[in-house]
């Protein structure tokens, strides 16, 4: 069966008591023991829950992994994985990762728990220059956030494997419908399932997918020990969202393509970052390792702080909000919003200036999306009426 069909069946046939077609939400913290001779399949929901298990099986299947562990947020997935490395371990991370990932890695480094090198992996061979005896993993986000640079998964995977280090990929931006890093040698894939996987902006959640059963066990041990595993209701919502993931990704991408092409020809726009445009620096690489270009578009707008503020406050279809991957369209300024937690130097090095605007292109009608951008860019261009200073009457 195709993934699209398998997803429509996900979670079915798990209810042997009543045979409900929709997966039940096992909203129970604990499960009854028959006696003390043996442990039941489930005993306590932090360690295992049937609703979460059904989601984990579905996500592992989608990513082509041996197993998955679903946790409370994307950051819980990242911190659970990082907790698996011993004190003093060194991590190489792509330099333009999500601001929260940069903040966590820097914080762990400042506490002396891990050391980190943030590296521009555009040339994969630069990874070799940063590998030390204590390096345990290379951490890659591709396409990157917010500039949508694409990193060569196959090359990075080969270098990591030769060096005997683990290869972790944050696949949040594309979802397994458009990119499957395990096929390129990733040991672990992480997701903020808050985004495309759920798709409705109503749950914060995350997932770790492991290529081998042993690594799934390591990740499950860490998530259970840390108490990071996700709640039954959240798991159920993600599973429901996943059923329409292939359809949603198709529409996100179609709309994003049209938005990128529109912005590319707009005279208020300096440059557009969308790997689906032939002019994007990584278009060829993206075409080989991705099966689509996704729904995220960033652009550099011309203008000063005041005009950027006018742009961001005048959209009506695009909502000014962080996050991404929901059915609605969002607009944001990474420097002051999603990437505000990043150190200023790190942000500058990654090229995230105040003029970079990020769009999460939703699945609404393209005419409405383009019309909204048109009027917002027009408002940004308009000079505000000069403020007339009222002279105080001389006698006061
Ligand atoms: C690429 C990426 N990874 C991880 C995260 C963190 O996920 P969460 O907000 O679910 O903790 C985000 C959040 O925006 C993200 O964009």
pLDDT digits (tens, 9 = 90+) for 373-384: 999 999 998 766
Ligand 1 in reach of 332 Cβ (< 6 A) = no
Q: Is 73 touching ligand 1 by the criterion CB < 6 Å?
A: yes
Contact of 206 with 193, CB cutoff 8 Å: yes
What's the average model confidence in pLDDT over 95-102? 91
Rounded average pLDDT over 11-22: 89
Q: Which range, of 130-134, 178-182, 277-281, 350-354, averages the lowest pLDDT?
A: 350-354
Check if 127 has its Cβ closer than 6 Å to any atom of ligand 1.
no
- Does the beta carbon of 204 sit less than 6 angstroms from any atom of ligand 1? yes
Does 187 qualify as catalytic in the annotation?
A: no
Section 254-264 average pLDDT = 98
Phi and psi at residue 322, to the nearest 5°: -75, -175
The CATH topology of domain 245-381 is 3.90.1150
Mean of the per-residue pLDDT values of the chain: 95
Whether ligand 1 lies within 6 angstroms of the CB of 172 is answered as: yes
pLDDT, position 393: 52
Look at 201-205, 233-237, 379-383 and tell me which has the smallest mean pLDDT. 379-383
Tell whether the model's pLDDT for residue 394 goes beyond 60.
no
| pLDDT tens-place string over residues 54-68 | 999 999 999 999 999
pLDDT tens string 18-62 = 999 999 999 999 999 999 998 999 999 999 999 999 999 999 999
Q: Which atom of ligand 1 is nearest to the CA of 75?
A: 11
Q: Is 96 in the pocket of ligand 1 (CB under 6 A)?
A: no
Question: Atom of ligand 1 at shortest distance to CA of 338?
Answer: 14
Of 70, 96, 98, 237, the one to substitute when testing ligand 1's pocket (max ligand atoms within 8 A of C-beta) is: 98
Candidates 12, 54, 58; CA nearest to 242 is 58
- Domains 3-242 and 245-381 alike in fold: no
15 is catalytic: no
Dihedral angle of Cα 169, 153, 114, 145, to the nearest 10 degrees: -60
Active-site residue 170, yes or no? yes
Q: What is the pLDDT at residue 386?
A: 59
How far is residue 175's CA from residue 186's CA, in Å, rounded to a whole number? 15
For a pLDDT cut of 90, what percent of the chain falls above it? 89
Residue 78 CA: nearest ligand 1 atom is: 4
Quick check: 256 and 215 in contact, CB under 8 A? no
What's the gap in Å between 52 CA and the centre of ligand 1?
20
CA distance 94 to 72: 24
Average pLDDT over residues 72-101: 96
Residues 6+ apart with CB under 8 A from 342: 99, 102, 103, 350, 352
Q: Does domain 3-242 have CATH number 3.90.420.10?
A: no
Among 42, 46, 120, 381, the one annotated catalytic: 46
**How remote is the CA of residue 317 from the centroid of ligand 1, in Å?**
23
Quote the ligand 1 centre to 383 CA distance (angstroms): 36
Q: Which of 237, 196, 203, 210 is nearest to 84 (CA)?
A: 210
Task: Report the C-alpha gap between 137 and 123 in whole angstroms.
Answer: 17
Residue 168 phi, psi dihedral angles, 5° rounding: -115, 135
Catalytic residue among 52, 136, 180, 195: 195
pLDDT at 371 over 80: yes
Going by pLDDT thresholds of 50, 70 and 90, the confidence category of residue 391 is low
Q: Is the CB of 360 under 6 A from ligand 1?
A: no
Cα–Cα separations (whole angstroms), residue 170 to 99, 145, 176: 13, 11, 11
In this prediction, residue 396 carries a pLDDT of 42
Pocket test residue of 192, 298, 339, 358 for ligand 1, highest count of atoms within 8 A of CB? 192
User: d(Cα 165, Cα 172) in Å, to the nearest integer?
Assistant: 22
What mean pLDDT comes out for the span 68-87? 98
Q: Is 46 a catalytic residue?
A: yes
* DSSP three-state, residue 169: strand
Marked catalytic residue, from 53, 96, 152, 170: 170
Residues 322-337: pLDDT tens digits? 999 999 999 999 999 9
Give domain limits for the chain: 3-242, 245-381
- Give 118-140 pLDDT, tens digit per residue: 999 999 999 999 999 999 999 99
- The response to whether residue 146 sits with its C-beta less than 6 Å from ligand 1 reads no
Is beta strand 135-141 parallel, antiparallel or unpaired with respect to 188-192?
Answer: unpaired
């Amino acid at each position: 069966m195709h993934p699209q069909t398998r997803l429509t069946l996900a979670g079915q046939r798990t209810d042997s008591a009543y045979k409900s077609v929709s997966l039940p939400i096992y909203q129970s913290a604990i499960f009854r023991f028959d006696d003390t001779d043996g442990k039941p399949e489930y005993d306590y929901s932090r360690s295992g829950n049937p609703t979460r298990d059904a989601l984990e099986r579905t996500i592992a299947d989608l990513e082509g992994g041996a197993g998955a562990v679903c946790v409370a947020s994307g950051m819980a997935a990242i911190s659970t994985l990082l907790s698996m490395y011993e004190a003093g371990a060194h991590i190489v991370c792509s330099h333009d990762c999500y601001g929260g990932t940069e903040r966590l890695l820097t914080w762990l480094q400042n506490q002396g728990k891990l050391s980190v090198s943030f590296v521009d992996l555009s040339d994969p061979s630069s990874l070799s220059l940063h590998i030390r005896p204590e390096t345990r993993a290379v951490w890659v986000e591709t396409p990157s956030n917010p500039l949508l640079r694409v990193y060569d998964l196959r090359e990075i995977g080969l270098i990591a494997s030769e060096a005997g280090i683990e290869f972790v990929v944050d696949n949040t931006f594309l979802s397994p419908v458009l990119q499957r890093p395990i096929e390129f040698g990733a040991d672990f894939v992480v997701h903020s399932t808050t985004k495309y996987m759920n798709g409705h902006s109503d749950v914060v959640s995350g997932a770790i997918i492991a290529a081998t059963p042993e690594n799934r066990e390591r990740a499950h041990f860490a998530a259970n020990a840390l108490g990071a595993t996700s709640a039954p209701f959240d798991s159920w919502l993600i599973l429901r969202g996943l059923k329409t993931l292939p359809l949603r990704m198709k529409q996100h991408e179609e709309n994003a393509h049209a938005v990128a092409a529109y912005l590319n020809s707009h005279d208020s726009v300096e440059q557009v970052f969308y790997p689906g445009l032939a002019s994007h620096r990584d278009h060829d690489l993206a075409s080989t390792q991705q099966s689509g270009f996704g729904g995220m578009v960033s652009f550099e707008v011309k203008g000063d702080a005041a005009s950027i503020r006018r742009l961001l406050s005048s959209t009506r279809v695009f909502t000014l909000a962080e996050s991404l991957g929901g059915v609605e369209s969002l607009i944001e300024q990474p420097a002051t919003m999603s990437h505000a937690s990043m150190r200023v130097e790190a942000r500058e090095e990654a090229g995230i200036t105040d003029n970079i605007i990020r769009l999460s292109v939703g699945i609404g009608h393209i005419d409405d999306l383009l019309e909204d951008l048109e009027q917002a860019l027009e408002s940004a261009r308009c000079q505000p009426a000069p403020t007339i200073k009222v002279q105080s009457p001389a006698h006061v």
